[in-house]
Structure 1
């Protein structure tokens, strides 16, 4: 047991966040912490981290437990140091020993004191034990896995935007390898390749991991337990997020059945009490039943769950068949070429998911389609196209002095105040929140207001850049439902694979400056990519072809030629020295045969490793496998040459024996 939270209660003023709840964390746990926004997920992480004090219960941790906590507060960190050096601060002790070695080296240049030499030797051993020679390589591997280029590693940390800084701090936290790693919305700052890299890394992480995330795909692949913060309680479920959804439905059904059965029992007992309480012969019995009812532990009725309010897009006019055509379009930023003579067409009814790594030009392509980005080539808009564009930079169009409700009213959608308030409720603005000024809202809150404006815009063509970043799971589901019923067309950029899989009917990817289109859902695209990767792998030889190849690369051992009994050599005295040498060469020949067979088996295993796409997610594993394969290839080549040399010697000696 790493951490035990036993019957804890935590309160903010008069509000209870968690009451009489327990949580036990053991090595190997992968816990997904879920719940509606504001229910206390991040609060629970801070309780575990020791930042908040509980009002009741106990928290026990093993001695010297290390906890790593990834959250938005880390952005207060500032430095002009390179991101490589920031990442390397994870190895605090190794860096300390390295500095001490530098100081000792400087002293030894002027003195050969034996005590200094001993100290230097001890420090070298400690540095080696801490794997100090590899900390630079380890840091670079993790940073590059999270999307940084090799050239980026020496750039100052302060030159990067907030999202990229969070990646650096995530890398540092990963490199520290704490016993318990707590991640609060880690995928908000990552593109798809980086999320996939993080998934592979965490799959092999030796400590416990607690994840707060609205990314269902990420939770499904990462966690083996779900803890839901709901109605001030911690509810535990075994399995991943999909397992949790099934189990929760079953639990709710059982609870509702138990509630209904108990209510029937209570009504029956109350009728008995009411009927016989005034009758002398039954009064004592009625009183006894009343006391039992008072002590009865009541089963709670199942509540209605999260809000079922539905978002609805309305389309004012029907566009033509083609909404936008790009022909021979090129776009560059200095030496960075985003599009090179690219072609694409968006048709009425298309719901396109634009995917790929950060820096490939997804947001640029959205602006090209919208006509707000200068290009070389032709962009032809369609007939009757009414566009609405949602992106982070669109927040500048909000009127800061307006209240939230007033901002939506100004769009001229014709919706009533009640309809607008219901819509804002989907975006987590409840009650008097709708009267807040835009000026005082956080970045995430402004983003939700901007997205609400898109929904009521009556546009027939939507462009959405990361629309789910500031929504909880319930709101994402409402948005998915609305986009599913939307009669217009759209192009969206999102790192949320579940969202893309539920909304897009086409996938676009920018590859070498071209727009590659896949006609199908994201799930179908993933399956297609897997088939492409398998098809690109070299075929595995079957046993027959392998043995045939072995006979070609390594000649079969020559059988000693026996002289016929009637030949003169049959009666010739045997040269003992010659026979001894022949036997020696034959033994060496057999050893080489065995060595070659072993090397071929080893190479087959290494080829299988290199053919596995998962190995490319871990740079160190790939380098190790590639080095081992090259080494085995060289050894096999050397063994084959020795094999041929020994074979010739055996043939030569056998000829001499026959002479």
Structure 2
């Protein structure tokens, strides 16, 4: 074990972040730490590294365990050193050795002392063992992988923006190669090529990695375990994010079914008690049933933490077939060329993802299309009846700082009621009294979400979105994706969130060699096409599409249908003709006694089987089960067998019950 939480409770002021949590991080693990915004994921990382102390329990760290922790607070660091020097700070021991070797070399020039020569040789050997001769190459390689050009490596660190500074600090951290690497939203400041490079690097990283991220695609490719911070508890799942989603849905469904089955059992027992508590012959059995209900450990109904809201777009006007056309467009900033004599067209129904590395001009091209950047050569031709709405994170000055969040949306003139606007704002993480906050007191991220909500509430038929998911959690990204899929208008957006791109776009635009290159297909198809081109060693083969990449969710639906297809035991009524002749009363009495004994045995057996079923359901509702696949598989088999036995016993019980009722009424 490298780091461990043992029965840890942590309170932040009056708020409980986590309660009685146990979690051990072992060598070689790649873990995704997830949870809704505001649940305390970043706070939990600070508990792990020792910045915060737990209220109860202990945090244990292995002797000599080194920890690297990347977080937003690091941006307060500033220096005049070059970014190469900052990143090479990872090799402090090597740099100290280099100074010692240099000093020994100077001393050896003055004297031929054998002891000094021996020390000098030893230091050189130690430097070689530590890989000191390659540190410049390693550092340059990592910085280039994270998007820096060779010409930038000697520029002062302080000249770079926050996003680029974070990349330098990430480079330094991964070069240090700590035993445990804690990364808090590492992809927020990375473009697609840099994210892909980071994935490849971390997959082969020898230490353990814990990642807080809202990027599903990144988590699916990176992690082998999910730890979910949910309702102040840690739930552990042994798999990637896709595995977690399926297993959590199954666990919730099982808990819901266990609750419903227990409620049915309670109703059945209450019916029995009500019917027989006044009968002398069954009073004892009724009292026993009452005691069983009193002792029963009640299963709680499943409560969804966040409502499944839906964003509904309204489009006032239907545009023409072509929304906008770019003809022979060129744009440059000094010596930096963005596009040169390029042309493109956006048609009605297009949902275009504009992708590529930072610095290629994606946001600039978006502004040209929106008409907010008129300084370019060539033509931008606007289509008929086009009404656009443009979201850009740097254009937040359009917000009225004196408005409340709710007032800002009401000023859009959408015609939506206050309740509808509150529901929409809830999707963008503003709930309750949050909507009454003034815009001027909001953080940059909160202002960006308000600006995005204004775009959503507009009745535009053409949306232009620049990094719309940057400040949203996974749940909100899913809601936005679902809404854009239903949106009847057209969209062009810039994003590095591959889940969002893969699920929201039907075309891909990429700026290659200063030209707009269009791929008519989804992001998944685009990635597969690029991989085929790389293997074949050719740059262009747009006609060779592989339809096999178009996957459906049929397997998921099949699994869900199977899980929902549990047969409820139906009451089988096999009525036996009762005796009607008075001469048969003695035989009837014997038959009644025999049936009563059978019914008692059947009741006891059914009760035993029900308790077994409830016990298994309670076990399967425990998220810890999903951390052990073998345990879960065995429980699932036991549960199917228990259901079959309960169904058979219930049928026998109800048959005897009906017979008994008939005979007691005759008596």
Q: Give the TM-score normalised by structure 1.
A: 0.78
Q: Secondary structure at the match of 2:426?
A: helix
| CA distance in 1: counterparts of 2:56 and 2:288, whole angstroms | 35
| CA distance in 1: counterparts of 2:292 and 2:134, whole angstroms | 70
| CA distance in 2: counterparts of 1:92 and 1:112, whole angstroms | 29
| Cα offsets for 1:126-180 (capped at 9, x unmatched) | 2222211111111110000000001111011111111111111111111111111
Structure 2 unaligned residues grouped into runs of 5+: 540-667
Offset at residue 269 of structure 1 (A): 4.2
| CA distance in 1: counterparts of 2:47 and 2:271, whole angstroms | 48
Q: Does 1:93 align with 2:93?
A: yes
Name the CA shift for 1:94/1:288 in 2 (closer, same or farther; >3 Å).
Answer: farther
Structure 2 equivalent of residue 327 of structure 1:
327
Offset at residue 394 of structure 1 (A): 1.5
Q: Secondary structure at the match of 2:153?
A: helix
Structure 2 equivalent of residue 591 of structure 1:
none
| CA distance in 2: counterparts of 1:520 and 1:97, whole angstroms | 55
Q: Does 1:415 align with 2:397?
A: no
Structure 1 unaligned residues grouped into runs of 5+: 539-659
Offset at residue 270 of structure 1 (A): 4.7
Offset at residue 278 of structure 1 (A): 8.4
Q: Does 1:61 align with 2:55?
A: no
Offset at residue 363 of structure 1 (A): 0.6
| CA distance in 1: counterparts of 2:295 and 2:21, whole angstroms | 23
| CA distance in 2: counterparts of 1:532 and 1:122, whole angstroms | 50
| CA distance in 2: counterparts of 1:398 and 1:426, whole angstroms | 19
Structure 2 equivalent of residue 30 of structure 1:
30
Structure 1 equivalent of residue 512 of structure 2:
511
| Cα offsets for 1:565-588 (capped at 9, x unmatched) | xxxxxxxxxxxxxxxxxxxxxxxx
| CA distance in 1: counterparts of 2:89 and 2:306, whole angstroms | 43
Q: Secondary structure at the match of 2:128?
A: helix
| CA distance in 1: counterparts of 2:65 and 2:173, whole angstroms | 15
| Cα offsets for 1:546-568 (capped at 9, x unmatched) | xxxxxxxxxxxxxxxxxxxxxxx
Structure 2 equivalent of residue 361 of structure 1:
361
Q: Secondary structure at the match of 1:384?
A: coil
| Cα offsets for 1:408-441 (capped at 9, x unmatched) | 1111112111111111000000100001111111
How do residues 313-462 of structure 1 correspond to structure 2 at under 5 angstroms? 313-373=313-373, 374-462=375-463
Structure 2 equivalent of residue 474 of structure 1:
475
Offset at residue 99 of structure 1 (A): 2.1
Structure 1 equivalent of residue 652 of structure 2:
none
Offset at residue 505 of structure 1 (A): 1.0
| CA distance in 2: counterparts of 1:54 and 1:276, whole angstroms | 55
Offset at residue 282 of structure 1 (A): 7.7
Q: Secondary structure at the match of 1:154?
A: coil
Name the CA shift for 1:102/1:16 in 2 (closer, same or farther; >3 Å).
Answer: same
| CA distance in 2: counterparts of 1:287 and 1:438, whole angstroms | 63
Structure 1 equivalent of residue 156 of structure 2:
156
| CA distance in 1: counterparts of 2:166 and 2:94, whole angstroms | 24
| CA distance in 1: counterparts of 2:211 and 2:146, whole angstroms | 17
Offset at residue 391 of structure 1 (A): 1.0
Structure 2 equivalent of residue 570 of structure 1:
none
* Most deviating of 422-431 and 122-131: 122-131
| CA distance in 1: counterparts of 2:230 and 2:221, whole angstroms | 23
Name the CA shift for 1:89/1:287 in 2 (closer, same or farther; >3 Å).
Answer: farther
Offset at residue 381 of structure 1 (A): 1.3
| Cα offsets for 1:305-329 (capped at 9, x unmatched) | 5321111221122222211111111
Measured on the aligned residues, the alpha-carbon RMSD in Å equals: 2.1
| CA distance in 1: counterparts of 2:9 and 2:289, whole angstroms | 34
Offset at residue 291 of structure 1 (A): 5.6
Structure 2 equivalent of residue 485 of structure 1:
486
* Most deviating of 459-468 and 231-240: 231-240
How do residues 197-596 of structure 1 correspond to structure 2 at under 5 angstroms? 197-270=197-270, 293-373=293-373, 374-536=375-537
Number of equivalences: 538
Name the CA shift for 1:267/1:11 in 2 (closer, same or farther; >3 Å).
Answer: farther
Q: Give the TM-score normalised by structure 2.
A: 0.77
| CA distance in 2: counterparts of 1:512 and 1:537, whole angstroms | 16
| Cα offsets for 1:350-404 (capped at 9, x unmatched) | 1111011111111111011112221111111112221111111111111112111
Offset at residue 111 of structure 1 (A): 4.3
Q: Secondary structure at the match of 2:214?
A: coil
| CA distance in 2: counterparts of 1:16 and 1:32, whole angstroms | 22
| Cα offsets for 1:65-104 (capped at 9, x unmatched) | 1111111111111111100000000111111222222333
Structure 2 equivalent of residue 121 of structure 1:
121
| CA distance in 2: counterparts of 1:274 and 1:180, whole angstroms | 62
| Cα offsets for 1:22-78 (capped at 9, x unmatched) | 212111211111111112221221111112222223322211111111111111111
How do residues 621-636 of structure 1 correspond to structure 2 at under 5 angstroms? none
| CA distance in 1: counterparts of 2:106 and 2:265, whole angstroms | 86
